[in-house]
Structure 1
Amino acid sequence: MSRLDATKAAAGHFNGRVRTPLNRQQIFGFWAAWAGWLLDGMDSVIYALVLGPALTELLPHSGIEATPGNVGYAGSILFALFLVGWGLSFIWGPIGDRFGRTRTLAATVLIYSVFTGAAALSQNVYELAIFRLLAGIGIGGEWAMAGTYVAEAWPEDRRKMGAGYLQSGYYFGFFVAAALNATVGATFGWRAMFLCGLAPVIVSIATLMKVKEPERWERVQAHVTRQVSPLRQIFAPPYGRRTLVMSALLTVAIIGLWAGSVYEPTAIITLAKNSGYQQADAVRMASYGTGLLSIGTVVGCLVLPLLAERIGRRPTLALYFAGMMVCIMLAFGWAFYLPADRALPTFMTILFFLGFSGANFAMFSLWLPELFGTQVRATAFAFCTSIGRFIGAGVNFGLGIAVHGMGTLGTPVALTAIAFGLGLLIIPFATETRGQVLPG
């Protein structure tokens, strides 16, 4: 057997055909993007996990009493500001289309890691808010650049599964954050958790030095004439409707998923204390819950591309949206209010299925690159995944007011399930791309 035959045999079969082998650059580039996405997920969840301890310490330094209501209210405002930063990350799209995917990817990772680490130095809640806003600008851009890179760098017969593999990295980050919280956070406190967010700097340097630009982007870049801004192009035919519909669907996903995942640790800590757990044990239980949520989501990410290829993009997203709608209502609207001896185990059980359905974000990593040409792909990806953050910020601000006013966490979060009902009505307007190749 020749070396080529051996390579093909080792690659295995997919849909009855030999899969195209990945070269060293494609493999290294994927792992750089995956690691950046993992650390991105870790960074995002660190805030959720340390929300209570950080605000309990910082609010009094800001002249605000650290009551449970004020902690919840301030937490929602800070998260809304974080989402505003994420919304502003659409600026990375035109930069990625102009200067390259890997350079821009490295820049986004550098930004979010530096300002996450800086959050450890916060002396009051206002400084923490500024650092989270700036970190959000970097975090939002990483997804667009990583998703665009993998779609363009991987061969056609592997890029769909590559999207699922890539998205799993974000939720492995949840697991890493939970592990750090159960060890570093429980021992050294919330400031040490934010310092762990400096780790992505290494990934940024490695990406900049080792990963080459996708050949597809380089070919297009050699012949592109920039007479029209890519931001204007994505609103012109044939992209305008696609941009609006995908932005709306991502807004739905952002509202529901983030409400559930951000408040999940706080909900578990509340339920654990109601069951008689001490503070340290309750924090560890929140870490276990986040780990369980992460496992469910990773499984969902791996299953989603298979479903999308078999039944189509629109039906698959509808299944995941319906799962989110049901699980959010069950977790926060029902299990949260069960008797103390039943509430925590029931809530924890539902978390796995909530995580599985939360893998709907993997659909956008797979679907968005198929809807736009190479010349505007990064701009479209960044815009669609970012603009909904502004609406999500408003919803989270309103959620904080509702939590503060109602004096409960469960019902306001459960009401965010309504967003997925609206999403189910929007899905039929999306463009189905099952069986189509990535546009040039």
Structure 2
Amino acid sequence: MDIEVKANQSSIGVVASTGAMGDVDNTSASYRWKVLIASVTGYAMDGLDMLILSFVMASVMSTFGLSLAEGGFVATVTLFGAVIGGYVFGILADYIGRVKVFSLTILIFSIFTGLTAFSSSLTELNIYRFLAGLGLGGEFGIGMTLVTETWPKEKRARVTGGVAIGWQLGVVLAAAVSAWVLPTYGWRAVFLVGSLPALFAAWSRYGLAEPPIWVARNELRKRLREKVKNNEPMTQEELAVYKETNKFPLLHLFADKKISTKTFGLTVMTSVQNMGYYGIMVWLPTILMQKHGLTLTKTSAWMIATVLGMMLGIMVFGYIADKAGRRPAFITFQLMSAVCIWIYSGLSDPMHLLIGGATLGFFCNGMMAGYGALLSENYSTDARSTAENFIFNTGRAVGGLAPVLIGMLAAKYTLSGALALLAFIYIAAAINVYCLIPETKNKELID
């Protein structure tokens, strides 16, 4: 704790001497909005790419003569690439800059999503999907880090909610591109057209400056390294800061027992979030068609209602989290998610299913508004992007197993019954927040 205080004091001193701006309130409104737009479009590319694959999977399987298992592996390898990319690019963003790495990830995504259209074999297809996934993996954490480091603390959850809505916009864009392009031009054209929005994402980052808080910390790091290189004398405070700023970013997440426990608790939260999302979005349409006999058109209407519910939930959650606090918002939405899933598993009337789907989306995915703010507020600038991407993408990896686990349970019991088990997982998540996660509302970001 002593070292932390000294490090922050020393950092403040260097910021003052270099003239760098450490207070996000001093950044211009136009800069903040450009950061937000860039982050939203970046995360929209994440949703676009992941969902495009779902829409064209049947056509891809037909082209290459794939089994269900082989088709599933194409989706898995994309997700695996996203997890690895999240880890790698999160760390790089803490070392060399958020904007630089953010731009690199969108370049990788656009190139390999476009190249997917030219795949001539299953091996090529998997390689391109893995590499596209690498680029996608960095989008969430780096975008969230950028907005939290540039927007005022009083609006932090709402602006990270804005980034989270980007995913839903990507889902809508994926549906539109697939509907317009797939029937006439085939799945290869869908991937080509799907890579074009990346040009807008790249444009939105043009000329974007690094956040002042990161610039100040990086200047401090370089100044102290120069002192060490030249064998200049250093105070105890400077030595402590030097060690802190040169520590491998991932080690900050496990610096001591208290921080490790917090990292574990946050990882549980993101794992449950992803389990709920993938479990609901993958299996509920199947339940609607098989158990309730809904047509594809009615199932699509359910999907639209659910996505709209998600977007509204994100906006409401962000407001509540900023006004009432992170812990009350998460615990309330997690408990309500458990209740909604339990009730939904017993519905049968089509109109009730439609309204219930929107309500499920509202609570289960509304919490996406809070993760960017919560993760940023618990870690320092030296490891903020690493923490965002490591914790969320670990949760994504765990959550990606949900469709498989639910499918296995459904084979033994019933699909709706297996899905209802998610209710108990959300209750466990609420207990996790109550026991392990500190309140960080209006907390100043740690240098």
Q: Which residue, 332, 346, 349 being the options, matches 1:334?
A: 346
Asked if the contact 1:119–1:131 (Cα under 8 Å) also holds between the matched residues in 2, the reply is yes
Alignment TM-score, normalising by the size of structure 2? 0.79
Partner Cα distance (2:175, 2:165) in 1? 16
Q: Which residue, 160, 166, 170 being the options, matches 2:167?
A: 170
Asked if the contact 1:36–1:203 (Cα under 8 Å) also holds between the matched residues in 2, the reply is no
Partner Cα distance (1:190, 1:349) in 2? 33
Q: Which residue, 375, 378, 385 being the options, matches 1:371?
A: 378
Structure 1 match to 2:78: 82
Which whole-Å deviations, capped at 9, do the CAs of 1:370-390 have from their partners, x for residues lacking one? 111111111111111112233
- Of the structure 1 ranges 151-160 and 297-306, higher mean CA displacement relative to structure 2 is found in 151-160
Q: CA deviation at 1:135?
A: 2.8
Structure 2 match to 1:315: 328
Counterpart code for 2:442? G
Q: CA deviation at 1:50?
A: 3.2
Is residue 106 of structure 1 aligned with residue 103 of structure 2?
yes
Counterpart code for 2:385? A
Partner Cα distance (2:189, 2:408) in 1? 30
Which whole-Å deviations, capped at 9, do the CAs of 1:136-155 have from their partners, x for residues lacking one? 32222100000000011223
Structure 2 match to 1:295: 308
Counterpart code for 1:305? G
Which whole-Å deviations, capped at 9, do the CAs of 1:153-200 have from their partners, x for residues lacking one? 223343332122222222122222233344334554444333332024
Structure 1 match to 2:354: 348
Q: Which residue, 233, 254, 257 being the options, matches 1:235?
A: 254
- Of the structure 1 ranges 110-119 and 369-378, higher mean CA displacement relative to structure 2 is found in 110-119
Q: Which residue, 155, 163, 167 being the options, matches 1:158?
A: 155
Q: CA deviation at 1:352?
A: 1.0
Counterpart code for 1:350? G
- Of the structure 1 ranges 387-396 and 143-152, higher mean CA displacement relative to structure 2 is found in 387-396
Q: Which residue, 12, 37, 41 being the options, matches 2:43?
A: 37
Where structure 1 has 5 or more consecutive residues not aligned to the other structure, the ranges are 1-18, 65-70
Alignment of 1:115-264 (within 5 A): 115-122=112-119, 127-224=124-221, 225=242, 226-237=245-256, 239-264=259-284
Partner Cα distance (1:52, 1:330) in 2? 32
Structure 1 residues 170 and 126: alpha-carbon distance in aligned structure 2, compared to 1, 3 A threshold = same
Q: CA deviation at 1:130?
A: 3.9
Structure 1 residues 378 and 21: alpha-carbon distance in aligned structure 2, compared to 1, 3 A threshold = closer
Structure 1 residues 248 and 122: alpha-carbon distance in aligned structure 2, compared to 1, 3 A threshold = same
Alignment of 1:425-440 (within 5 A): 425-428=431-434, 429-440=436-447
Structure 1 residues 415 and 194: alpha-carbon distance in aligned structure 2, compared to 1, 3 A threshold = farther
Is residue 50 of structure 1 aligned with residue 70 of structure 2?
no
Asked if the contact 1:49–1:265 (Cα under 8 Å) also holds between the matched residues in 2, the reply is no
Structure 1 residues 253 and 48: alpha-carbon distance in aligned structure 2, compared to 1, 3 A threshold = same
Structure 1 residues 424 and 186: alpha-carbon distance in aligned structure 2, compared to 1, 3 A threshold = farther
Partner Cα distance (1:365, 1:218) in 2? 20
SS in 1 for 2:438: coil
SS in 1 for 2:173: helix
Counterpart code for 1:334? G
Partner Cα distance (1:433, 1:164) in 2? 16
Structure 1 residues 366 and 23: alpha-carbon distance in aligned structure 2, compared to 1, 3 A threshold = same
Which whole-Å deviations, capped at 9, do the CAs of 1:341-360 have from their partners, x for residues lacking one? x4x54433222112211121
Two-structure CA RMSD over aligned residues (Å): 2.9
Asked if the contact 2:157–2:370 (Cα under 8 Å) also holds between the matched residues in 1, the reply is no
SS in 2 for 1:373: coil
Counterpart code for 1:37? Y
Q: Which residue, 416, 425, 429 being the options, matches 1:419?
A: 425
Partner Cα distance (2:259, 2:200) in 1? 33
Asked if the contact 2:38–2:205 (Cα under 8 Å) also holds between the matched residues in 1, the reply is no
Partner Cα distance (1:270, 1:183) in 2? 27
Counterpart code for 1:385? F
Counterpart code for 1:436? K
Q: CA deviation at 1:58?
A: 4.6
Structure 2 match to 1:15: none
Q: Which residue, 88, 91, 96 being the options, matches 1:94?
A: 91
Aligned length: 397
Q: CA deviation at 1:97?
A: 0.5
Structure 1: which 4+ aligned runs deviate by more than 6 Å?
A: none
Partner Cα distance (1:216, 1:371) in 2? 15
Structure 2 match to 1:360: 367
Where structure 2 has 5 or more consecutive residues not aligned to the other structure, the ranges are 1-24, 222-241
Which whole-Å deviations, capped at 9, do the CAs of 1:415-435 have from their partners, x for residues lacking one? 344322221221111111123
What is the identity percentage for the equivalent residue pairs of Structure 1 and Structure 2? 26
Structure 2 match to 1:7: none
